[in-house]
Chain A
Amino acid sequence: MRSQLNGAASGIVFRGGFGMPERNTPQKTLESWKQIAGYLDRSERTVRRWEASEGLPVHRREHEKQDTVFAYRHEIEVWSRLRTKCPREISIDEAESLPPLKPATNAYLIEHDAITRTMHCYIAGARAGDGDLMRPAFHPSATISGYCQGVEYSGPVEHVFQWITENGPAPNINPRFARIEIIESIAVVHLEVQRWSGRLAGANARASDVFTLLKWNGEWKITHKLFHWHDQ
C-alpha cells in the first residue's frame, strides 16, 4: 500500500485518454477555478457545478477571502478516471443527497455541505473499490473499529483502504445519511449502507457506519470509522 497522500496518483497511468488534455506543467496543484477549468478543458461554470453535484475534489483555504480554492492534480485525475468509468451510477445514486447547486450562504449549511462532500469521497472510493480514492476523506491518524461476523476489530485506517481495494468495485451500494450532527469543530455522521457487494463483502450485505469528523485545516476529515456489519 502507498502510504502518503501524494502517492495516491503515483500508480495511475493517465494519458488524457478519457477526454482530458495533456498538460506539461510541473505544478502539483491548480490554484484557482480558472486553472482547474483549464486543466479539465471546461468552463469555470461547469467545474463549479461538478464540485457541487459530482464531488469534484476542490479544496478551500481558510482565513482568506471567500472562494479561494485549489485542487490537487492527482485528485482531479482520480476523480476524472472514476467519473469516466461509471458516470451513470454516480449521477443517479449520488443525486439522492446532492448539495444544492447554489452555494449555501447559511453557516450551518456550509458546514453540512462540506461534511457531505467528505462523505461522498468515502462513498466514491467504496463504490469504485479504490482505497486511494477515499484517502483524502480521512485524517492521517484516523482509526477504525467495529464488528465483522461477530469478531471485534480495531486498527489504523490503512486497513480500510486495503480492505476497500481488495473488495473491489461495489457498484450497487445504496448509502443513506441517517444522521449528521455538527458541534462547531466536530461532527458525527451515521451512514446506513445497503447492497454492499464485492470479493470480501459478499452479496447484498448491509452495514451501519458511524463516522466522527474533525474540522482540520479548514476541511472536514474523518478521524474514526465505527462499523457494524449486519448478519445476513
Chain B
Amino acid sequence: MAKSEYLTEYDGIVKTMQMYIDGSKQGKSVLMRPAFHPDASFFGYAGEQLAVGTQFLFDWIDKNGPAPKIEPRVVSVDILESIAVVRLEVAGWSGNLAGSGVRMSDLFTLLRTPSGWKIIQKAFHWHA
C-alpha cells in the first residue's frame, strides 16, 4: 500500500472509531450505530456473564448514559487491504452501569465497504 493510500485508509478508520467514541461519551447509541456493519457482532464478559450481540452493546450504552471523562487511546491500527484491526484502550469509564474509573480494552475488526470503514466486530475486556 502506497503511503498516501495508507493515510487515507487510516483516516477513514479513525473517523469510524470517533463515532464509537462520541456515542460512548454521550451515552447515545444512535451516534455509534452508523460505525457498525449491519452484520456486526459483539463479544465479551460483563462480570461473569458473556455478552453477545450488538444490541446488547447499544442498550448498554443508552442505559449507561453520559461518560464525559472517558480517555480513549488508539493503541494500534493494522490495515490489511480491505480489512483492519484496531486496539482501543479506554480509561475513565463512568456511568449508570459502568460505575466509575473503569478501564476497558477493545479489539475492533473493520471491513472496508463502499460507504466507508465499518466495525464488523467488537471484542472487549473489562478490567475489574
Q: State the A residues within 8 Å of B (CB).
A: 139, 141, 143, 145-147, 152, 154-155, 179, 181, 183-188, 190, 208, 210, 212, 214, 216, 223-224, 226-228, 230
Contact = CB atoms under 8 A, between A and B. Distances in A.
B1 interface: no
A224 B107 CA distance: 11
B124 A212 contact: no
Contact of B123 (A141, A186, A208): A186
Interface residues of B, number: 26
Overall SS of chain B's interface? strand
A186 B80 contact: no
Given A155-B39, A185-B45, A226-B109, A210 B125 contact: no
A140 to B, nearest CB: 10
A186 B125 contact: yes
B123 to A, nearest CB: 4
Interface of B: 37, 39, 41, 43-45, 50, 52, 78, 80-83, 85, 87, 105, 107, 109, 111, 113, 120-121, 123-125, 127
A213 to B, nearest CB: 8
29 contacts: A141-B41, A141-B52, A143-B39, A145-B39, A145-B111, A146-B82, A154-B39, A154-B111, A155-B39, A181-B107, A184-B125, A186-B123, A186-B125, A188-B85, A188-B87, A188-B123, A190-B80, A190-B85, A208-B81, A208-B83, A210-B78, A210-B83, A210-B109, A214-B43, A224-B120, A224-B123, A226-B109, A228-B82, A230-B81
Given A146-B111, A188-B107, A226-B109, A214 B85 contact: no
Contact of A228 (B80, B87, B120, B123): B80
B120 A190 contact: no
Contacts of A155: 39
B105 A212 contact: no
B125 A212 contact: no
Contact of B120 (A154, A185, A208): A154
B32 to A, nearest CB: 19
Given A146-B83, A186-B44, A214-B43, A223 B123 contact: yes
A155 B38 CA distance: 11
Contact of B37 (A154, A208, A230): A154
Which 5 A/B pairs are nearest by Cβ-Cβ distance?
A: A154-B39, A186-B123, A224-B121, A208-B80, A183-B105
A186 B43 contact: yes
Contacts of A210: 78, 80, 83, 85, 109
A226 B45 contact: no
Contacts of B87: 181, 183, 188
A152 B107 contact: no
Contacts of B120: 145, 154, 224, 226
